[in-house]
Amino acid sequence: MYFEYCQEVATDFEKVLESDEEYDVIIYAGENMKVLHAHLFVLRTRSQYFRTGFSKKWAEKKDGKFIFKKPNISYEIFKIILRFIYCGKIDFTNLQSSEVFELLMAVDELSIQTLINCIQEYLIKYKKEFQCSVEILDTFYQHDSFTDLWNFSLRKICEEPEILFNSNKFINLSEHLLEFLLKQDDLNLDEILIWDGLIKWCLAQHSNISHDVKKWDKDNFTTMERTIHRFIPLIRFYGISPEDFNLKVFPYKKLLPDNLINNIFTLHSSNAKVTNEKLNIFNVQSPRKSKDIYDSTLINPQHFAIFSSWIEKENDSHYNARNIPYNFNLLYRASRDGNTAADFHKKCDNKGATIVIAKVTDSEQIVGGYNPLFWNEKCNTNKSTSDSFIFTLTDRTNLQTAKVSYSNGDPNSIQNYSVHGPVFGATDLYENNGSNWCSKSDSISYPKIDEMPIGKFYVDDYEVFQPGNRKSKIENTVKLDTKREYRYNFVIILITQLLNQHQHIHQQIQLHEEDNSVFVMAVDLYVANHILKGLNSKISVMIAEAEAALNSKVEVTELEMILAEEKERDERIMKEFGFWNSNS
């Protein structure tokens, strides 16, 4: 037979505290040094801090009683702590948020770990206002004992960073905490807004510097460069759209590394996939992981961004995780819904366009395909389309390994059979029997992807998503003026590079960074082609390719309108720079 009377013991100890009987410790708490009485045996038994503090070597005694002074902990807070030490009770009901936080700081100093854990749990559950407070965040960041609060707050910030970034106190973040936040891969905020926040923070550190970058002098740029330098590697510049980069980043070009702007303009102007090696880019950070709203156990939003680009036959980076134009709805997961052809058709037939993703067993490779038509086991027919594709990523954690192959329009592009799940091409990629898949080397309907598994292989699981209604294109378009500005800035970068290669041109044009704004706005592709006349054929080809890429960013009618309206002005400018030839 076993009995416990813990509550009775706790109640008796509480009475001992309240009675002041036979106390042998005098505590002076708060700035006013108000007196509290306690018992050495209880304090040393319940707290390592007091066990050490009241050692014979360090303890102060007066009239036979130990003296303990703590001016940085208020009398009211110390009373709460003593009550917990004596009887294990804590009541937050009548405490304000600031008092709870003060209590947390006090028990941390006194190393009462049980109460630290208790207060953390209470703040997480009931005090939402603490989650993104700048002052509180800095405190959590600096205290190892506040692990639960720090992890919770960091997760909330990464999920809803606007709360912090839009706060008036964002500029008060310590540089170490800001650096830590910018390192987070799952900070769920558009990269351009992160850049805006960084500029705002840097400006706040130097109140004497104008918020208008056009008014900065050399000293201002030097000061700001020193402030922002440590954060530049943490910004995912390659995830910023060309328009946003042009409007919000390019004005601060003097703060950025020499090669960064050139590489980004080269990337933005290319319709083809540009590798890091071609751009001479090293240590490029991958895009941040946005909050995963897709119910997938195999892939993340970055993959859906690539799929969206492929569906529209764009390059891999056309969309990113924050501007995905489709709502991908999970129709089927083999491990959840049954891994048979019948299960697949039950969930996916007559649902319109779908994309299939399968993870290859014993690897990080994923394979799959896009059917722009529909599945229907009752048809037992083949369909021709040039919009379907198959794909693979040899490493699903590395988006650079993505490869896609579009149908050549073969009559067997999409096949429907009741005994098979998804079938792409005659033998290009298909589900053969549950986890058993097959891809043959003859590649009848789709150009061969070398990295695609050949023959029979097994998959751990596969999922089928339906690209929902396409979101409005308004969010992905920009005004004509923005496009023109982007073209001007690209051309000025290109011309600057060429001038560096052809020093004799400097005799006719003196292009200085300090006063090139007028030239930037004046130069159009029409002018650039004349300027570049006479250069060697290799450079001429490069300009032709750049022009074609840039023209694709503006509708033809718009481009013609620009050239027609500005031809006269362009000719005048060319005359001023000595490039005009009436026979041109």
Residue given tokens 């600096």 in the structure block: 142
Q: Structure tokens of 245?
A: 């980069």
Q: What is the pLDDT of residue 161?
A: 87
Q: What is the CATH number of the domain that holds 44?
A: 3.30.710.10
Encode burial over 367-394: b for 16+ CB neighbours within 10 A, e otherwise: bbbbbbbbbbbeeeebbebebbbbbbbb
Distance from C-alpha of 553 to C-alpha of 550, rounded to nearest angstrom:
5
**Same domain as 459, residue 312:** yes
Q: Is residue 275 part of a domain?
A: yes
Q: Is residue 140 part of a domain?
A: no
Q: Is residue 144 part of a domain?
A: no
**Same domain as 209, residue 61:** no
**Same domain as 308, residue 443:** yes
- Domain extent, residue 565, equals 478-576
Residue given tokens 């986890």 in the structure block: 435
Q: Is residue 288 part of a domain?
A: no
Instruction: Indicate left, alpha or beta for 283 from its phi (over 0: left) and psi (-120 to 50: alpha).
Output: left
Q: Is residue 388 part of a domain?
A: yes
Q: What is the pLDDT of residue 208?
A: 95
Last residue of a domain, one of 113, 130, 147: 130
Last residue of a domain, one of 473, 496, 516: 473
**Same domain as 454, residue 354:** yes
**CA triplet 460, 464, 467: central angle to 5 degrees?**
150
User: Under a CB-based contact definition with an 8 Å cutoff, are residues 38 and 20 in contact?
Assistant: no
CA 494, 500, 503, 509 dihedral sign is: positive
Relative to beta strand 328-333, strand 65-70 is unpaired
User: Under a CB-based contact definition with an 8 Å cutoff, are residues 461 and 449 in contact?
Assistant: no
What 8-state DSSP symbol labels residue 397? T
**Same domain as 266, residue 173:** yes
Q: Is residue 363 part of a domain?
A: yes
**Same domain as 508, residue 416:** no
Q: Residue 34's beta-bridge partner residues?
A: 29
The DSSP line for 436-466 is EEEE-TT-SSS---TTS--EEEEEEEEEEEE
**Same domain as 112, residue 19:** yes
Query: Residue 134 is which amino acid?
Result: V
User: Under a CB-based contact definition with an 8 Å cutoff, are residues 83 and 71 in contact?
Assistant: no
Q: Is residue 149 part of a domain?
A: no
Q: Is residue 289 part of a domain?
A: no
In sequence order, the 6+-apart residues with CB closer than 8 A to the CB of 82 are: 17, 27, 36, 38
Q: What is the pLDDT of residue 348?
A: 95
Q: What is the CATH number of the domain that holds 230?
A: 1.25.40
User: Under a CB-based contact definition with an 8 Å cutoff, are residues 447 and 408 in contact?
Assistant: yes
CA 391, 393, 398, 403 dihedral sign is: negative
Count of the separate structural domains present in the chain: 4
User: Under a CB-based contact definition with an 8 Å cutoff, are residues 495 and 523 in contact?
Assistant: yes
Q: Residue 456's beta-bridge partner residues?
A: 438
pTM: 0.54
Last residue of a domain, one of 246, 279, 312: 279
**Same domain as 275, residue 325:** no
**Same domain as 443, residue 325:** yes
pLDDT in tens, the chain (584 residues): 766 666 776 676 677 677 777 888 888 998 889 988 988 888 888 888 888 877 766 667 788 888 888 899 999 999 999 898 888 888 888 888 889 989 999 999 888 888 999 998 888 888 766 656 777 888 888 888 888 888 888 888 887 888 889 888 899 999 999 999 999 988 888 899 999 999 999 999 999 999 999 999 999 999 999 999 999 999 998 888 888 888 999 999 999 987 888 778 776 665 444 444 444 444 456 667 655 567 899 998 889 989 999 999 988 878 877 678 898 999 999 999 999 999 999 999 999 999 999 999 999 999 999 999 999 988 778 899 999 999 999 999 888 899 999 999 989 999 998 899 999 998 899 998 888 999 987 778 999 999 999 999 999 999 999 998 665 443 333 333 444 444 545 555 555 555 554 444 444 444 444 444 434 333 444 444 544 444 444 445 555 555 555 555 444 444 444 445 545 554 554 454 444 444 54
**Same domain as 316, residue 373:** yes
User: Under a CB-based contact definition with an 8 Å cutoff, are residues 425 and 407 in contact?
Assistant: yes
Q: What is the pLDDT of residue 317?
A: 76
**Same domain as 489, residue 447:** no
**What are the C-alpha distances in Å from 377 to residues 347, 356, 380, 420, 430?**
11, 16, 6, 8, 14
**Same domain as 315, residue 175:** no
Q: What is the pLDDT of residue 12?
A: 64
Distance from C-alpha of 434 to C-alpha of 166, rounded to nearest angstrom:
50
What 8-state DSSP symbol labels residue 290? -
